[in-house]
């Protein structure tokens, strides 16, 4: 009986030790971590080795440097496709508490599309490709207002192309 108790104790001790060792997590230098404690964002953690409390902490790892590509994004004005927009945005996460992985890309895309819609409504789409620099300045200005709210900083921002989509007359039968 004593030998079974010894073997059982060793198995339990080994299992607990292995579990605790697996709670050490390594975050690489080009990433950043966020600890969720009881399902709520608790604190950001820097690259390195960290111990997570068993059954309490969960680690979410983000790439610090991110990019958003809009490739031929069709922008509708009054229900009709009017402008095609292609752009490239590089950004860096600076405040992990405000940054949420999927939402920032979605919010950024929505804001950029909204600004182009307002620009096209205000100035029209005729010759919009010649107004690329003015549109880029307006887009960058709006992005600069939002970056603090989103917890990011812009690394590069480039409007690749903005092209008017010609209207086609609708035929009625």
∠ Cα 142 143 146 (to 5°): 95
**Residue 171 belongs to some domain of the structure:** no
| Residue 135 lies in domain | 65-164
At residue 94 the predicted structure's pLDDT band, cuts being 50, 70 and 90, is: confident
**Residue 9 belongs to some domain of the structure:** yes
135 contacts: CB under 8 Å, gap ≥ 6: 116, 119, 128, 159, 162
**Structural domains counted in the chain:** 2
Q: What is the pLDDT of residue 172?
A: 42
Q: Let me know whether 58 and 69 are in one domain.
A: no
How does DSSP classify residue 170? P
Dig out the tokens for 36 from the structure. 């969720």
Q: Let me know whether 59 and 131 are in one domain.
A: no
Per-residue pLDDT of 124-141, as tens digits, reads: 877 787 888 888 889 989
**Secondary-structure breakdown of the chain: helix, strand, coil percentages, each rounded to the nearest 5:** 40, 40, 20
Q: Let me know whether 86 and 115 are in one domain.
A: yes
Q: What is the pLDDT of residue 173?
A: 46
**Residue 170 belongs to some domain of the structure:** no
At residue 169 the predicted structure's pLDDT band, cuts being 50, 70 and 90, is: low
**Residue 32 belongs to some domain of the structure:** yes
**Of 7-16, 57-66, 98-107, which has the strongest mean pLDDT?**
7-16
Among 13, 47, 63, identify where a domain stops.
63
Say whether pTM exceeds 0.85. Answer: no
Mean pLDDT computed over every residue of the chain: 84
**Residue 172 belongs to some domain of the structure:** no
Q: Let me know whether 53 and 91 are in one domain.
A: no
Per-residue pLDDT of 6-61, as tens digits, reads: 888 999 999 988 888 888 999 988 888 888 888 888 888 888 999 998 888 888 88
What is the average per-residue pLDDT within 145-172? 79
Q: What is the pLDDT of residue 88?
A: 92
**Residue 169 belongs to some domain of the structure:** no
125: CATH: 3.30.479.30
């Amino acid at each position: 009986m004593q030998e079974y108790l010894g073997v059982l104790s060793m198995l339990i001790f080994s299992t607990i030790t292995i579990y605790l060792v697996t709670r050490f997590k390594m975050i690489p230098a080009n990433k950043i971590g966020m600890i969720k404690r009881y399902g709520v964002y608790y604190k950001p953690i820097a690259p390195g080795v960290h111990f997570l409390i068993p059954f309490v902490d969960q680690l979410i790892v983000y790439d610090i440097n991110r990019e958003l590509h809009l490739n031929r994004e069709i922008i509708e004005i009054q229900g009709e496709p009017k402008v095609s927009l292609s752009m490239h945005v590089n950004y860096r996460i600076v405040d992990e508490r405000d940054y949420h992985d999927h939402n920032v890309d979605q919010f950024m895309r929505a804001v950029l599309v909204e600004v182009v819609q307002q620009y096209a409504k205000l100035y029209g789409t005729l010759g919009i490709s010649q107004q690329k620099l003015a549109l880029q300045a307006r887009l960058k200005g709006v992005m600069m207002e939002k970056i603090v709210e989103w917890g990011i900083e812009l690394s590069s921002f480039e409007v690749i192309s903005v092209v008017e989509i010609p209207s086609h007359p609708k035929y009625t039968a």
